[in-house]
Amino acid sequence: MTNKNILKRTVALLLCFCMLSGTLVSCGSKSSDSDSASKAESDSTVESTKGDDIDIDAYIASLDPGLDPENDADAVPIEGEDDMSRASFAGDGNSSLTQFTRISPYRSSPRNHKIDTITIHCMAGQLSVETCGDVFSKSGAMASSNYGVDKDGRIGLYVEEKDRSWCSANSANDNRAVTIEVASDRYAPFAVSDAAYKSTIKLVADICKRNGIEKLVWSNDKNERVNHLNGANMTVHRDFDKNKPCPGDYLYSRMGDIAEKVNAILDKEKK
Ligand SMILES: [Zn+2]
């Protein structure tokens, strides 16, 4: 292995994102140990303050970059558009359901593939959309998502839909997917609030409608998901890193329900 490849491999081990709360480690773990997943699942030993009262620096230090090291070793953050003032920004090619906008420098612009996939993540922390935005804009975070949904069901925009987020540790996926981080408990099964769940469904339906995704299809077969077979157009972070529990079993077990509810909205609006 060349030094560069060793570096890439090392970075690969850091991947996965899924945020955190408190000093939390997200759905990811920086450990390369074989038990890293179980450690992440049971990371309740990590001391954390409640809710939004987090130490962002500690959070960032524990955050895994959302890049695919095999393809993104040269990805460079785009500075200069951390713009909280453009309130109307969200309406321009993005969801009008957005209630908070803070564009992250950790993105690739523009995405290189048409949007045809939805990837829902868990934050592994009950972060507000504002704190999530802070995290994604903080120096060294090297991670982002297109949207975030907090426990109150509020929606944040961090990477415009036209751009690729650094979220799922897979360049190809994030180039075609809209990624959504949903506030969750920071311990397994990473449950989310009813408000967050309902808001996520509304957001996904809106994304599908505007991007011409007529039907959302979940498959319990990973091969179908990652290869987009039989119409499958939902992926999960764990598809791309088996050591990561993201999106957590709570959301993972409900992906079919999410698809069903989104499709009901889409069908209703077609009539
Ligand atoms: Zn994730």
How many Å lie between the centroid of ligand 1 and the Cα of residue 49? 21
pLDDT of 30 higher than 60: no
pLDDT of 19 higher than 60: no
Token pair recorded at residue 158? 């961090």
**180-217 burial string, b = 16+ CB within 10 Å, else e?**
bbbbbbbbbbbebbeebbebbbbbbbbbbbeeebeebb
10 Å CB burial of residue 167 (0-12, 13-18, 19+) is buried
Give the residue, 76 or 63, on which the prediction is more confident.
76
Q: Are strands 155-157 and 147-149 parallel, antiparallel or unpaired?
A: antiparallel
Task: Quickly state the pLDDT bin for 228 (edges 50, 70, 90).
Answer: very high
Residue (of 207, 162, 203) closest to 183 by Cα position: 203
How many Å lie between the centroid of ligand 1 and the Cα of residue 270? 32
How many Å lie between the centroid of ligand 1 and the Cα of residue 181? 7
Domain that holds residue 243: 3-270
Token pair recorded at residue 216? 């959302």
pLDDT of 116 higher than 90: yes
How many Å lie between the centroid of ligand 1 and the Cα of residue 211? 22
The Cα 53–Cα 55 span in angstroms is 7
The Cα 243–Cα 240 span in angstroms is 9
For the segment 29-49, the average pLDDT, to the nearest whole number, is 35
How many Å lie between the centroid of ligand 1 and the Cα of residue 166? 10
% of residues, the chain, pLDDT over 70: 72
Q: What is the pLDDT of residue 71?
A: 73
Residue (of 27, 44, 69) closest to 166 by Cα position: 69
For the segment 182-200, the average pLDDT, to the nearest whole number, is 96
How many Å lie between the centroid of ligand 1 and the Cα of residue 269? 30
pTM: 0.80
The chain-wide mean pLDDT, for the chain, equals 80
Least confident of 5-19, 87-101, 102-116, 207-221: 5-19
How many Å lie between the centroid of ligand 1 and the Cα of residue 100? 21
Query: Cis peptide before 110, with omega less than 30 degrees from 0?
Result: yes
For the segment 34-46, the average pLDDT, to the nearest whole number, is 36
| CATH number of the domain within which 162 lies | 3.40.80.10
How many Å lie between the centroid of ligand 1 and the Cα of residue 167? 7
Number of domains in the chain: 1
Residue (of 252, 32, 68, 36) closest to 143 by Cα position: 68
Q: What is the pLDDT of residue 64?
A: 67
How many Å lie between the centroid of ligand 1 and the Cα of residue 90? 23
8 A C-beta contact, residue 190 and residue 248: yes
Q: What is the DSSP string of 48-112?
A: --STT---HHHHHHHPPP---TTT-TT-----S---SS-GGGGGTTS-TT--EE---S-EESS-S
How many Å lie between the centroid of ligand 1 and the Cα of residue 119? 9
How many Å lie between the centroid of ligand 1 and the Cα of residue 93? 24
How many Å lie between the centroid of ligand 1 and the Cα of residue 256? 18
Q: What is the DSSP string of 2-27?
A: -HHHHHHHHHHHH------STT---S
How many Å lie between the centroid of ligand 1 and the Cα of residue 268? 30
How many Å lie between the centroid of ligand 1 and the Cα of residue 66? 8
How many Å lie between the centroid of ligand 1 and the Cα of residue 16? 6
How many Å lie between the centroid of ligand 1 and the Cα of residue 15? 9
10 Å CB burial of residue 51 (0-12, 13-18, 19+) is middle
How many Å lie between the centroid of ligand 1 and the Cα of residue 182? 9
